[in-house]
Amino acid sequence: MVKARTSAAELVESGHVRVNGTREKSPGHAIKIGDVITVALDRTVRVLKVTAFNERRGDAASARVLYEELSEANRN
């Protein structure tokens, strides 16, 4: 979604992220497998379901296998 952790934190702090339907205000909020994350970004809304975690940070391609896209507009 975004390239840096600081950008992700700014999205959360500015109220653009929901976890399981509840607006999140803390960038450090823990999520778990099965959580649904809603992100308002660039005039679109993406809805993602967390399906797995990775032990290490990786590139965008490796991150894509860790969630399921629920929003119709962004499905491939």
Which CATH number goes with the domain that contains 42? 3.10.290.10
Contact 71, 47 (CB under 8 A): yes
- Record the tokens describing residue 68, joined without a space: 């399921």
- Over residues 11-18, the mean pLDDT reads 96
Specify the number of domains making up the chain: 1
Q: What is the pLDDT of residues 51-69, one digit of tens each?
A: 999 888 888 888 889 999 9
- Record the tokens describing residue 56, joined without a space: 């290490």
Looking at every residue in the chain, the average pLDDT score rounds to 90
Q: Could you list the residue range(s) of the whole structural domain that residue 59 is in?
A: 5-74
Q: How far apart are CA 33 and CA 13, in angstroms?
A: 22
| Region of 11 on the Ramachandran plot (φ > 0 left; ψ -120 to 50 alpha; else beta) | alpha
